Amino acid sequence: MQSASGLPPSWRAGQRWLIVTNHSAVRRTLACRAVLPGLWRGGTTDWTRVEAASKTDARARLALPIPAGAAPGRYVIPIDLRYADRDLPQFTEAIVVL
């Protein structure tokens, strides 16, 4: 059974924003996803896609499923990025403190 958020009832959702600057002269598509810690049963989130107009910043929202029983602490969450035709695995990271 899943809650209204789509997560199992024993999980909660966190969110982070990834901001990417498009320095090119044309619009670009970017996509990102989080690589979840193994202690959280690992895996990745779904890809989030956004369009970035030329010479602007684009914001992509990452929803992070966090197990309710996750131990307090500081977690490093790698972020995969696809920018135009480039795959940039674990290009950046988010820090989550529980």
CATH number of the structural domain spanning residue 18? 2.60.40
**Number of helices and strands in the chain (H, E):** 0, 6
Structural domain contains residue 92: yes
For residue range 15-54, list pLDDT tens digits in order.
778 888 999 999 999 999 999 998 888 789 999 999 999 9
Q: Is the pLDDT of residue 2 over 50?
A: no
Q: Is the pLDDT of residue 87 over 50?
A: yes
Express as a percent the part of the chain with pLDDT over 90.
49
Structural domain contains residue 78: yes
Amino acid at site 55: K
58's CB contacts (< 8 A; 6+ apart) are 19, 20, 21, 22, 30, 50, 51, 52
Structural domain contains residue 6: no
Structural domain contains residue 48: yes
User: Rounded to the nearest 5°, which phi and psi values hold at 83?
Assistant: -125, 115
Give residue 80's domain range.
Answer: 11-97
Structural domain contains residue 5: no
Whole-prediction pTM: 0.77
Structural domain contains residue 4: no
User: Rounded to the nearest 5°, which phi and psi values hold at 39?
Assistant: -65, -20
Report the DSSP beta bridge partners of residue 14: 64
